[in-house]
Amino acid sequence: MTDEELLALAAEYGFDCAAPLDATKLEVLEDVRDACKVNLCGQYNKTWACPPAFGDLEESRKMLKKYTRGLLVQSVQTLEDDYDWESIQALGERHGENFQRLLARIRELYPDCLALGSGGCKNCKTCTYPDSPCRFPDKMVYSMEGFGLFVTQVCRDCGIPYNHGRGTMTYSACFLLE
């Protein structure tokens, strides 16, 4: 698929902003990966899609090296104020649902695509980690930060902002295709 076709697909699946991604520019950073251990998101050591379930930084580098291009997608919401939790929650749900729908479509064309989201995989109420294998490996969404990717920089490199201004909230995620 061309970049233009991928952007059209992102819009069709409800994303507010999208950009082609040059996967050769992705940089894995120790500091980002280390920040996961602080566990601010509560997902560290909780799912197959977050550290330490998958390998160390070297493993992340090896996995990312397989890809040369991708698609960055964002969902953006205007908030009534900083405490507009209802809109933030609705945004998270909309983003997750659209991402899964687009992932299913993209997998038809790129079966080996790598799905990376902000935060851990939220597909199941309770993850099977660490007792049994992932229930839905095709739907698993790895954490961008868990891979050591500085999401702000990834957005910048793609030419779109990480944050769309005061009074808004943005969720970012990406697909690495080939």
Binding site for ligand SF4 (CB under 6 A): 47-49, 121, 123-124, 127-129, 134-136, 139-140
Smallest distance from ligand SF4 to CB 146, Å: 12
Comparison of 50 and 176: residue with beta carbon closer to ligand SF4:
50
- Bond preceding residue 52 cis, omega within 30 of 0: yes
The answer for residues whose C-beta is within 8 angstroms of residue 53's C-beta and 6 or more apart is 45, 47, 129, 130
Cα–Cα distances (Å) from 177 to 55, 114, 164, in that order, read 21, 7, 26
**Pairing verdict, β 142-143 and 168-176:** unpaired
Instruction: Pick the closer one to ligand SF4 by CB: 61 or 139.
Output: 139
**Smallest separation, CB 123 to ligand SF4 (Å):** 4
* SS3 of the chain: helix, strand, coil, percent, to 5: 35, 20, 45
Nearer to ligand SF4, 47 or 172 (CB): 47
Shortest Cβ distance from residue 43 to ligand SF4 (Å)?
10
Closest to ligand SF4 by CB, 18 vs 134, is 134
From the CB of 49, what's the least distance to ligand SF4, in Å? 5
